Structure 1
Amino acid sequence: MQIADFSPPDTPAARGALALAREYQSPALTAHAIRSWLWAEAFARVDGIAGIDHELLYVAAILHDIGTVPEFDNHRLSYEHAGGHVAGAVTAGAGWPTQRRLRAGEVIVRHNQESVDPAVDAEGYLLEVATALDISGSRPDALPAGFVREVLAAHPRGDLAAEFGACVVDQAARKPDTAARRLVDGGLLDKLAAHPFEHR
């Protein structure tokens, strides 16, 4: 398995999502989004999940944390719900039908759940396990070691641990009834600091 096995969709929605991420997110947060997409595609192979909507998965992965940036932060909604609305706007502009736009938002919201049933939402499951790997260090040995090294070299973590930790702590303080509070209370900062990919 290698990065070349996975090609970003060459579609208006996919290009728009990446352009928006690069314009508004930091390089570390955008690299996290790209790694999350690559991990998700790799987990689809490792876990034997077929029939996924690759374009939807890509758009959701690229935009899943965009609700943390000031321009898209919502004073009331969780950052994953805010990001889901951004994905809805991007995909509406690309001509997606309503139900598919809503699915992109569902996948983004579900990435912050503690677990997602792949039989219920394959793309939601893949984004959840991918982001759990990149943020919390879950299943660090599930993917081929050479592939992991290649992804980390192409899309380095940079200041992700400090930057993302600060974002989620801020979200949890301002919106204590959202998933950000659960993440912080669950030891997010310690998980980021001890992440095995931080020490490679």
Structure 2
Amino acid sequence: MDLFTPPDSKASAAALEVCHRYTQPWLLNHSLRSYSWATAYAADVDIAHDGELLYVATLLHDLGLTAPFDSHTLQFEEASAHVAWVFAAGAGWGPERRARLAEVIVAHLGDDVSADDDPESHLLQVAVGADVSGRGLERFSERFVADVVERFPRLGFADAFLVQAKDQAERKPHCAAAGLMRDGWADRVSANPLDQPSR
């Protein structure tokens, strides 16, 4: 199994095209690394999941941080979910699948979700946690970590992401990002082993 190969579907290809069009390289690579962490973890612990749904959710989960889709009233994950719902409608997904896509994206910044209850949300949470703050990074072999970062370099991710998170927190003090910032999350992001010289 090639953990770096996206699902072979029109929606998956379109999601990647959207990311290339609307996200800066540091954010695009974050999404691609997150998909890699998610699929590797799923394979390692045998979590059955919808690969296309996971891929599209992972690619689109941060679109609410980009200027064209930033909302001054909604939390960025909610804005991302709305954009993803519209994307899914254009891709021909039915109402239930569109709703699932939005649900997975919103859940990635919420309380921990178990794999039994919602495998795609669980995998996205694990993957984003590893990539953003290094949470659970020990699940992956040093070789695999090196391969992921070589394929999809960090490109100053931590600093660029924190600029966006701080902006969201200042403008939307009741959002999930603001709560994370108050909880010392910025320090954990800055200390992510993926961004240390040894990596």
TM-score (ref. length: structure 1): 0.95
Corresponding residue to 1:183 among 180, 184, 189: 180
State how far apart, in whole Å, the 2-side matches of 1:22 and 1:154 are.
16
Give the corresponding residue for 1:171: 168
Give the corresponding residue for 2:70: 73
Deviation at 1:91, TM superposition (A): 1.2
Corresponding residue to 2:18 among 17, 20, 32: 20
Give the corresponding residue for 1:142: 139
CA RMSD of aligned residues (A): 1.2
Q: Which moved more, 1:11-20 or 1:152-161?
A: 11-20
Q: Which stretches of structure 1, 4 residues or longer, exceed 4 Å deviation after superposition?
A: none
Aligned AA for 1:39? Answer: W
TM-score (ref. length: structure 2): 0.95
After superposition, what is the alpha-carbon deviation per residue over 1:42-81, rounded to whole angstroms, capped at 9, x for unaligned? 111222212x110000000001111001100111111001
Correspondence 1:106 to 2:107: no
Aligned AA for 2:83? Answer: V
State how far apart, in whole Å, the 1-side matches of 2:104 and 2:170 are.
24
Deviation at 1:7, TM superposition (A): 1.9
State how far apart, in whole Å, the 1-side matches of 2:6 and 2:135 are.
24
State how far apart, in whole Å, the 2-side matches of 1:180 and 1:18 are.
25
Corresponding residue to 1:87 among 84, 91, 111: 84
Aligned AA for 1:29? Answer: L
Aligned AA for 1:73? Answer: D
The aligned length equals 197
Corresponding residue to 2:121 among 117, 124, 132: 124
Structure 1, unpaired ranges of 5+: none
Aligned AA for 2:46? Answer: G
